[in-house]
Amino acid sequence: MPRESVFLDRDGVINKLVYRDGKPTSPRSVEEFELEVNVAPALHHLSAAGFKLFVVTNQPELARGLVTKESLATMTALVVNLPGIEEVRICPHDDADGCSCRKPQPGMLIDLARKHDLSLKESYIIGDTSKDSCAGNRAGCKSIILDRPYNHSASADWRVPNLRSAVDLICANRR
C-alpha cells in the first residue's frame, strides 16, 4: 500500500539561508550551515505520525563551483542524521542544464515515490519558494510555503509561519 510522505526543501526549511549582498543563498561551507530552530522536534513529530520524510534540494552552487563536493557531502550528512529522514535527494544542476530533477520540475519527488512506494496525492511538500510548491503540485502533492521575507509572491496550497505550523497543519489534515 502506498505510503504518505513529506518532502522538505533544505535551504530555508531545514537550515537557515545565508545572505550575500542582501540576497538569500545556500550555505557554501559547514561553518555557514545552521539548522533552523526546532527542526528536529518537528521532524520527529511527523515521523512519529507515520510519515516518510525526504529532503529534496536544488544545489546549483555545485555546478557553479561555489561549493565543493566535500562540503556538500558533510552538510548532507548532517541532514540525513535528523529524526526520520529517509533520504536526501540533491539536484546539482544549474538552470541552463534543463534536467528533470531541478525544481520546479517534479523529477526528484517522482523518483522517490517510485523507489519508496509513496502516494504522491497523499503527500506534502514544504518549501520556501515557488519552485518547491510548483514541483510538489506537478507531482500531485499538496504544497506548503513557509512565510519568509523573500517569498511573499510565492503561491502554494497553504502558507504558514514556520515548520512547526506546517507539521500541525499536515497532522490536522490527516484526520
Active site residue 128: no
Our answer to whether residue 9 is catalytic in this structure is yes
Is beta strand 23-25 parallel, antiparallel or unpaired with respect to 158-160?
unpaired
What CA–CA distance (Å, rounded) separates 87 from 52?
A: 9
Q: Could you write out the DSSP letters of every residue in 84-145?
A: TEEEEEEE---GGG--SSSTTS-HHHHHHHHHHTB-GGG-EEEESSHHHHHHHHHHT-EEEE
Active site residues: 9, 11
